Structure formats: C-alpha cells, structure tokens
Amino acid sequence: MPYRSPLLDLPGPIAAPDGHPEEGVPWHWGDPFAEQRTATRGAVVIDRSHREILAVTGEERLSWLHLVISQHVTGLAEGTGTEALVLDTHGRVDTHMVVAHADGTVWLDSDRGAVATSAFPSGGKQTLREYLEAMKFWSKVDIRDVSGELALLTVLGPDADRVLAAVDVSLSSDPYSVVSLPGGGFARRMPWPGRNSVDLAVPRAELADWWRRLTDAGARPAGSWAFDALRVESLRPRLGLDTDERTIPHEVNWVDSAAHVAKGCYRGQETVAKVHNVGRPPRYMALLHLDGSPEITPETGDPVVLGERTVGRVGSVVQHHELGPIALALVKRSTQPGAELLVGAEDRVVQAAIDPDSVPAEAPAPGREAAQRLRG
C-alpha cells in the first residue's frame, strides 16, 4: 500500500499529486508561497514522515559503517551526525543518507525506496537494508528498519529554536548536532535548507501529537513544496530528481559533505579520489532561472539545450516565493553562465539562464599540480 501520512486527515492540507516524489505527505496547506515566506522569516513545521529510517547498533557499528559508506565515520562522536552515500563500483551514486549518532545507535534516514547495487556477481538492485545486511559478514552489528517506529518532521526558519524550546527540545548550534528525545527518537540540526533547520525523528504513534505541540508553539504548518523550494535555492540535490544513473558525487556538491576524498576501503572510492586529485567532473549542478512569462514549466528529465546541442538534464523544478520558477540541472562543464539555454520538451520548452553564483569554482587538483611540479 502507498504511504499516506495521518496528517492528511487534519483540516487544511493539500496532498501532493499522484506520482509526485512527495506523494503521501502534505504538499502545502493552502498558501505555498506564504509558507515559504514564513520559513525564511519565522518558523514552519513540515511533515517528512515518508522518509525511511534504519537503526544500526552493535559494538562495531562505526568501524563497519566506515567500510561500506562514503563518509569517514570511525570517529563520529555520539551527539553528532553527517551525510553519506552508497556508491557503485564505478563511483556512481546509489543512495544518499543523513546520519545521526546517539545512545549507541547510528540512525540512517533516506528517501523512500532507497536502493543500492548488489556487491555480488549477480548484480541488480537491493533495498538499502538488504545491501547493508549482505555486507555485514561477521561484523558485530545489527540493522533494523525502524520506519514503522519513527517519523520525521522538520522545523525550519529563524525562529525554529524558539519553537523547539517551547516543546523542551534544545541542541547545539553546530551543524549535524544530535540529541536524543526523552520519549524516543532524536533531534538533528541541519545546515540546509534555509538558515536554520532541525529534523525531529519522533515516535510514529505520536506524530499527530508532536505536530500539534509544534504548531501550538508557533510553527506554521507547511508542505513539502516549501521544503523543496528552499532546498533548490540552497543547491541541495535530491537523489533520483537531480541525479541520474551516471551521477558521481563531485557533480552535485556531495564531496566533503557526504563523500570523503582521502579515506580508502569503500566501494567507488577510486573514482572519488581520482576525480578529486587529477580530474574534473564532466558535469556540474546549476541553478536555472526559468522564463516565467509562459505558464509552462519543464519537467524532471527534460533536456537542457544550447543551440543545437543537448548540454544537460533538468532536475527539481519548483515555484519559489521570491525567485519565481527555478530548477536544478546537471549541465556539461563547458556550459557558461551567460549561455542562452532552452529547457523542456514538447510543448513545455522555456528559456533559462544559469545563476552565476551556482557555478562551482575551479578547485585545485592536487595530483595534477604535483605532476606539473615534477615536470618542472
């Protein structure tokens, strides 16, 4: 059965359209642009209870995870978190996770339906849990799917800490800081989207009660539309929308935040290190400003065209309360900010311009520079 949040039974929410990535949770609560404005000036609470959560316990949880995910976690202290990926053997992104470590448990939350490429010769895709189970071997770890026990809410906005204090939740201002919640679950501060964001993994049976407490404390109900608009503005990708089957971490700003370039021993590490040290990613993720005069917008997967050439693909497309229609897109590295682009397909083609602030700076390639020094 498709997931359906109990909050959709409250007065006011508008469900996401069928087949939408946010299907099953409120898309907005009647005024998506006002919800976005409140998220930048006050505080909103967003239902993200469709995310999946795994719990990893056991004395070898950190040393084992260090071998199977892209992030350096052997020293991940309790009360902290990070982001991480599972890559395939070619360094292409299978899964993105947000991590929290508290009370002897590493929590991994991901988009619904997270999968990874099997490490066995038969290949194919497995659920994230199946992949991790297959990689356990004799490690002293236990992996549980706790999606039925915990549900995720996000409190977003400059007044988020005031709202959280009213419900007795307090945590450090450091990004990815984590605290356990007295009744079960955890709170985790996130560096995106927007200026201040805190995820709350609360007991699923208490989801409606937590929602009421947070809204009574002053958080405005907001939908996934508001979250995605600020996510796109923050240049944060979503797996499957802003990535395709060829995406490597460098193309979508996941190096450092979710993939460690120096540690070894994880699948796909050779590609991560090689591109960092001697190469350049073939594409980069750009923020596109779309022409809003026609009442049409491109869709995820549509081409980005420069002249007669296809130079990229469209990812997330949103209506932003200040910027108007915007999108993330993976474009060829040679595509310049001033290029006159057309994006879309069939009867939904519009003009677009790359936001110059979204173009990544040319980072030094340590390996290439070292080779040049050797040549004199």
**Over the stretch 74-90, which tens digit does the pLDDT of each residue have?**
999 999 999 999 999 99
Q: How many CB atoms lie within 10 A of CB 262?
A: 10
Give me the residue label for tokens 């108007």.
324
- Give the model's pLDDT for residue 74: 95
CB-based burial label for 243 (10 Å; 0-12, 13-18, 19+): buried
- What pLDDT was estimated at residue 363? 65
What one-letter code names the amino acid at 56? V
333 with 280: CB under 8 angstroms? yes
Question: In b/e form, how buried is each residue of 263-280, taking b as 16+ CB within 10 angstroms?
Answer: beebbbbebbbebbbeee
**Which residue, 370, 369, 312, 307, is CA-closest to 339?**
307
Q: How far apart are CA 168 and CA 21, in angstroms?
A: 32
pLDDT for 117 equals 95
Closest of 276, 259, 225 to residue 29, by C-alpha: 225
- Dihedral (CA of 209, 210, 213, 218) sign: negative
Q: If you search the block for the tokens 């309790």, which residue do you land on?
A: 78
Structural domains of the chain in order of their starting residue, each with its CATH number: 6-51+148-234 (3.30.1360.120), 282-359 (2.40.30.110)
Confidence (pLDDT) at 374: 47
Q: How far apart are CA 336 and CA 374, in angstroms?
A: 32
* Cα angle 84, 87, 88; round to 5: 170
Short-list 141, 136, 151, 70, CA closest to 106: 141
User: In angstroms, rounded to a whole number, what is the distance separating the alpha carbons of residues 191 and 226?
Assistant: 16
Query: What pLDDT is stored for residue 263 in this prediction?
Result: 86
pLDDT of residue 371: 44
Q: Quick one: pLDDT at residue 122?
A: 75
Task: Give pLDDT, residue 276.
Answer: 87
Determine the pLDDT at residue 370: 44
Collect the ranges in the chain with pLDDT lower than 70: 363-376
